């Protein structure tokens, strides 16, 4: 099955659960009707050459609930910064945006 057919099959299956999927370039987003719980606080000491990525709630489509994903360390990338994963509310639905690296804007 090719990627387009796989995404279509996922979207059709998800629609029966009240979930909608959207793809944007290389990112994958999910929309749900249930707000995630408040983020948990995790104390993670700094490590030389690494950044801390915060923990977040991911929506488990099989269990139909939010599950916690622990924070982690990622090796620093010269000339880039990390955008943490996040949930945003829009029109009563909640969209999850995966964490990602972005190039630094020098001179702006």
pLDDT exceeds 80 at position 15: no
Residue 29 confidence (pLDDT) above 70? no
DSSP helix/strand/coil, 5: helix
Decide if 54 contacts 70 (C-beta within 8 A): no
Its pTM stands at: 0.66
Would the pLDDT of 19 be above 90?
no
Domain ranges of the chain: 33-103
**Token pair 């749900």: residue:** 32
Percentage of the chain beyond pLDDT 70 is 70
Instruction: Spell out the residues 6+ positions from residue 47 whose beta carbon is closer than 8 angstroms to its own.
Output: 73
Per-residue pLDDT for 44 more than 80? yes
pLDDT at 16 over 60: no
Q: Say if residue 10's pLDDT is above 90.
A: no
Residue-level pLDDT at 26: 40
Residues 49-71, mean pLDDT to the nearest whole number = 94
Indicate whether 2 pLDDT > 60: no
| Contacts for 83 with CB less than 8 Å, ≥ 6 apart | 99, 100, 101, 102
């Amino acid at each position: 099955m090719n990627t387009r057919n796989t995404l279509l099959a996922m979207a059709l299956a998800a629609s029966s659960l009240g979930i909608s999927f959207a793809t944007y370039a290389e990112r994958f987003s999910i929309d749900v009707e249930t707000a995630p719980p408040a983020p948990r606080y995790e104390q993670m000491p700094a490590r030389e050459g690494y950044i801390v990525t915060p923990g977040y709630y991911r929506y488990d489509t099989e269990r139909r609930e939010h599950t916690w994903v622990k924070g982690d360390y990622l090796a620093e990338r010269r000339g880039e910064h990390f955008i943490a994963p996040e949930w945003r509310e829009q029109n009563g639905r909640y969209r999850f945006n995966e964490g990602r690296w972005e190039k630094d804007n020098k001179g702006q």
